[in-house]
Every structure is written in structure tokens, then in C-alpha cells.
């Protein structure tokens, strides 16, 4: 019986080690894909970044495309978790909108948050057979935005909405694409700096909210 318990403990520990190594590969791949691009990054680069032999990543993934899929899935999973947690403390439509804007900026720009930037830059490199899985997860994240923006539009709280423009008030999909598109595009130009005149993520988030959100009618 004692030997069996030892074997179980060893099996659990081995499983945890494998999961940790897999996560290390995903994190390193996200950083390298963001820095060098998917096409320019080799499996040897990824293995070297985590101290593995060049063929070791293939124990966890069949090919580099599967690693890319895992990077995108990790980013979307983190995005869902962080957004759902942020929304728990928000009690009004305005607070929910502010929370979602600030959280999305963090997903894009916090240290170690290269995953979504990779999705934005390297989507075309993902094989079609993997795209449907990623879209299914992304749809869950988009639904959170859809619900928030639908509420904002119905209350006249978005700049795209007005009492004289019923079409804009009903077009929540375009509102989502415009707002998230503006936020996502910051991966091409925003850099966090410190010092006088620098704009941190809180300030950038506040500026974005002011651009899009109207005062209550």
C-alpha cells in the first residue's frame, strides 16, 4: 500500500512538472512571437528560451502551429478570467464599461501579456483547422463586450448613440468593433513610460472612456 501511495504521489508530481513545462513553453513562445514574429521564430528558439533541447517542445506540441494556437488560447482564457473578475466589482453600466476598457488595456500591455498581441499580429499564420477553436473562445469574450455595450447604447451613454440616430443606437456590433479596434491598435504605438508627462495605463484608459462615453441623458 505504501508503495502504491508513493507511485500516486510521483505520478501527480510528474503531471504537475509536465504542465509547468508546457506553460513555460507557451509563455516563452508568446514573448518570442511578439518580439520576432511567428514566422521568424524557430522551435529551437523556443526550446532555448526555456532551457530545453531543440526537440523537446514536440513532446508537448505536434508542431509550431499548435504552439501558436496554445498561445492564443492562453491569452483569451486570461482575458476572460480577468474581465469576469473585474466586472464583479462594477455596479453600474458606466463602471462596467470603465472596468472592461481598463482590463483590456492590461491584457494587451501588462508585463508578460504578449498573448493577445500575438493573436492580433499572427492570426493569418494560424491554420484554418485551429481557427474555429480560437473563434469559439473569442466569441465568449466578445459576448461580455456585447452585453456591456448594448446596455450603454440603450441608455444613451455612448458617443455613437444619440436621440436622433436610431441606427447607431441599435448597432452594438459596430460599436464593439470600433471601440475594441481602437484599443487593440495601441499595441502598435503605446509604450509605458515613467516620468513627467508620461501616460500610464490608468490615464490611457480614462482618456479612452472620455472619448466614447457620454454623460447620462
Q: In angstroms, rounded to a whole number, what is the distance separating the alpha carbons of residues 182 and 204?
A: 12
- Here the cell at position 5 is 501511495
| pLDDT more than 90, % of the chain | 52
- Here the cell at position 46 is 523556443
Q: In angstroms, rounded to a whole number, what is the distance separating the alpha carbons of residues 68 and 53?
A: 19
Q: In angstroms, rounded to a whole number, what is the distance separating the alpha carbons of residues 18 and 25?
A: 11
3-class SS shares of the chain: helix, strand, coil, % to 5: 75, 0, 25
pLDDT in tens, 84-107: 999 999 999 999 999 999 999 999
Burial class (CB in 10 A: 0-12, 13-18, 19+), 25: buried
pLDDT in tens, 149-174: 999 988 888 876 555 666 666 788 88
Q: In angstroms, rounded to a whole number, what is the distance separating the alpha carbons of residues 212 and 178?
A: 10
Residue 206 φ/ψ region, left for φ over 0, alpha for ψ in the -120 to 50 degree band, beta for the rest: alpha
Residue 156 φ/ψ region, left for φ over 0, alpha for ψ in the -120 to 50 degree band, beta for the rest: left
Cα angle: 172, vertex 100, 190; to 5 degrees: 105
Cα angle: 27, vertex 100, 71; to 5 degrees: 20
More confident residue, 17 or 108: 108
Average pLDDT value over all residues in the chain: 85
- Residues 116-135 as b or e (16 or more Cβ within 10 Å = b): bbbbebbeeebeeebeeebe
pLDDT in tens, 114-148: 888 899 899 999 999 899 999 998 999 999 999 99
Amino acid at each position: 500500500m505504501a508503495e502504491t501511495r508513493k507511485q500516486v504521489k510521483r505520478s501527480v508530481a510528474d503531471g504537475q512538472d509536465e504542465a509547468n513545462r508546457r506553460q513555460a513553453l507557451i509563455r516563452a513562445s508568446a514573448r518570442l512571437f511578439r518580439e520576432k514574429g511567428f514566422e521568424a521564430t524557430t522551435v529551437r528558439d523556443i526550446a532555448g528560451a526555456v532551457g530545453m533541447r531543440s526537440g523537446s517542445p514536440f513532446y508537448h506540441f505536434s508542431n509550431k502551429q499548435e504552439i501558436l494556437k496554445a498561445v492564443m488560447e492562453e491569452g483569451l482564457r486570461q482575458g476572460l478570467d480577468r474581465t469576469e473578475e473585474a466586472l464583479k466589482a462594477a455596479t453600474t453600466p458606466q463602471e462596467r464599461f470603465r472596468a472592461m476598457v481598463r482590463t483590456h488595456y492590461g491584457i494587451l500591455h501588462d508585463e508578460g501579456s504578449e498573448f493577445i498581441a500575438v493573436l492580433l499580429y499572427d492570426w493569418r499564420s494560424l491554420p484554418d483547422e485551429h481557427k474555429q477553436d480560437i473563434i469559439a473562445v473569442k466569441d465568449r469574450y466578445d459576448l461580455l463586450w456585447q452585453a456591456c455595450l448594448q446596455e450603454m447604447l440603450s441608455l444613451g451613454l455612448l458617443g455613437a448613440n444619440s436621440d436622433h440616430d436610431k441606427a447607431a443606437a441599435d448597432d452594438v456590433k459596430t460599436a464593439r468593433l470600433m471601440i475594441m479596434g481602437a484599443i487593440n491598435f495601441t499595441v502598435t504605438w503605446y509604450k509605458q513610460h515613467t516620468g513627467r508627462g508620461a501616460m500610464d495605463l490608468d490615464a490611457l484608459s480614462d482618456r479612452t472612456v472620455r472619448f466614447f462615453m457620454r454623460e447620462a441623458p
